[in-house]
């Protein structure tokens, strides 16, 4: 499987890159709707984002 097809790489990458691009704004209606859809509060969603960032940082650190 290529790195492109590997969800364990691409999913945290997507979340980390969205965070870097400023997509996650807890003041936006879209973010609140996402939280409601996931049945999570904003802190829980930000925890997922932080966990994804940690995974992505480890992946990047391991790339030769």
Distance CA 1, CA 13 (A): 17
1-56 pLDDT, tens digit each: 898 999 999 999 999 998 888 888 878 888 899 999 999 999 999 999 999 999 99
Tokens of 55: 């995974």
Q: Specify the pLDDT at position 9.
A: 92
Q: Structure pTM?
A: 0.80
Distance CA 19, CA 14 (A): 9
Q: Specify the pLDDT at position 40.
A: 96
């Amino acid at each position: 499987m290529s790195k492109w097809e590997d969800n364990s790489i691409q999913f945290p990458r997507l979340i980390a890159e969205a965070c870097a691009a400023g997509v996650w704004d807890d003041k936006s209606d879209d973010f609140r709707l996402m939280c409601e859809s996931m049945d999570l509060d904003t802190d829980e969603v930000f925890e997922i984002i932080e966990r994804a960032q940690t995974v992505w940082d480890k992946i990047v650190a391991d790339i030769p």
